[in-house]
């Protein structure tokens, strides 16, 4: 009788550890790569995802910068244009207001303005989202700013697996890629292979199949949407959850094919609902799948307000599974 073999346990990492492992892999495989930003070296970043990299790679490749987002982005643009492959860190997404001219008029446009001869392989890591009482200037989700700029790519990983794979993909891309991470996800665990691997930029993932309803979402709202889908299942509605992973470029094909199967759709994001990515995605669904829709495309997002500091108000402000279910029940009349 053949001896049964025990399957090895799946390797799990936290979201923050997956980020660290991804940056380590990039610095190992790309001698022209370096990390620069506020508190990335000595402190390993305020969120801890660069810990140990200074000791491993040295002060020439893991660099603490002055407190100047404009200077950090300028450093990244100049270094990339002259042949290096920088990973630059903008501690909070909210701070991009300090450097939007560099991002909008230099980083996003240089390759176009130089006829494709100037390569800008810049990876920007930044942190978005609310939920830990960091108040209005440290809790925003401003991805729509970036997605509106031709020349930039924008990804927002929901899981540790995607965080590692998308950072490595971003580092190998010859264009600027913003990897927008999420504070509330840092302790989340998930399966992450030890080897270096990539998650393709521009490819969505169906994380839960369903036949009655489509939820299109990204970042931490993927997990809230899956919870909502489980609740809707008890009401007889089988919900498909599409994790976009990449917002620019956007995998419209996966979204449209899902809507063609389910005939109803909702877009969910943590960002303010007004002017958010939900409006663009809803417009594309109605342009490309109008004849398949049995109801208008719904949207769930944050109210048009700064993020509150008060924990109770903040929790009321952030979209969650209960709010998704409530909106879905209205749309589906269940």
CB atoms within 10 A of CB 49: 26
Find the catalytic residue in 138, 223, 263, 269.
138
- Enter the DSSP assignment of 189: E
Element (H, E) at 202: none
- Enter the DSSP assignment of 96: G
Based on the residue annotation, tell me whether 138 is a catalytic residue of this protein.
yes
Rg (CA), the chain: 20
Q: CA 218, CA 269: separation in Å to the nearest integer?
A: 7
Q: Which residues contact 123 (CB under 8 A, 6 or more apart)?
A: 26, 85, 86, 87, 88, 167, 170, 171, 173, 176, 177, 179
CA distances from 7 to 10, 11, 96, 164 (A): 9, 12, 46, 24
Angle (CA) 86-113-283 rounded to 5° is 85
Is residue 183 a contact partner of residue 134, using CB atoms and an 8 Å limit? yes
Q: CA 171, CA 98: separation in Å to the nearest integer?
A: 24
Q: CA 95, CA 272: separation in Å to the nearest integer?
A: 17
Give the end-to-end CA distance of the chain in Å, rounded to a whole number: 55
Phi-psi region of 141 (alpha: psi -120 to 50; beta: other; left: phi over 0): beta
Q: Which residues contact 106 (CB under 8 A, 6 or more apart)?
A: 73, 74, 77
Q: CA 281, CA 267: separation in Å to the nearest integer?
A: 7
| Residues noted as catalytic | 138
């Amino acid at each position: 009788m053949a001896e049964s073999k025990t399957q090895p346990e799946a390797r799990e990492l936290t979201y923050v550890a997956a980020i660290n492992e991804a940056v380590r892999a990039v610095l190992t495989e790309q001698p022209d790569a370096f990390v620069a930003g506020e508190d990335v070296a000595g402190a390993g970043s305020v969120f801890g995802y660069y810990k140990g990299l200074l000791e491993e790679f040295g002060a020439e490749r893991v660099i603490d910068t002055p407190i100047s987002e404009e200077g950090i982005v300028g450093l990244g643009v100049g270094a990339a244009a002259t042949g290096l492959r920088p990973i630059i860190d903008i501690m909070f997404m909210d701070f991009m207001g300090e450097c939007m001219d560099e991002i909008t008029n230099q980083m996003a446009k240089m390759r176009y303005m130089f006829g494709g001869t100037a390569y800008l392989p810049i990876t920007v890591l930044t942190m978005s989202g609310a939920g830990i009482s960091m108040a209005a200037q440290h809790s925003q989700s401003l991805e729509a700013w970036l997605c509106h700029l031709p020349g930039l790519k924008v990804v927002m990983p929901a899981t540790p697996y995607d965080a590692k794979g998308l950072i490595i993909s971003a580092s190998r891309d010859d264009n600027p890629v913003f990897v927008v991470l999420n504070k509330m996800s840092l302790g989340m665990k998930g399966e992450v292979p030890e080897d270096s691997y990539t998650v393709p930029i521009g490819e969505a993932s169906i994380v839960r199949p369903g036949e009655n309803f489509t939820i299109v979402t990204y970042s931490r709202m993927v997990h809230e949407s899956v919870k909502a889908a489980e609740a809707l299942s008890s009401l007889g509605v089988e919900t498909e959850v599409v994790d976009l992973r990449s917002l620019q470029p956007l995998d419209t094909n996966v979204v449209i094919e899902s809507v063609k199967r389910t005939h109803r759709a909702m877009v969910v994001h943590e960002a303010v609902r007004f002017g958010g990515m939900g409006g663009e995605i809803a417009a594309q669904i109605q342009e490309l799948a109008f004849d398949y829709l049995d109801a208008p495309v719904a949207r769930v997002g944050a109210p048009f307000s700064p993020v509150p500091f008060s924990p109770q108000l903040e929790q009321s402000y952030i979209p969650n599974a209960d709010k998704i279910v409530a909106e879905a029940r209205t749309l589906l009349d269940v």
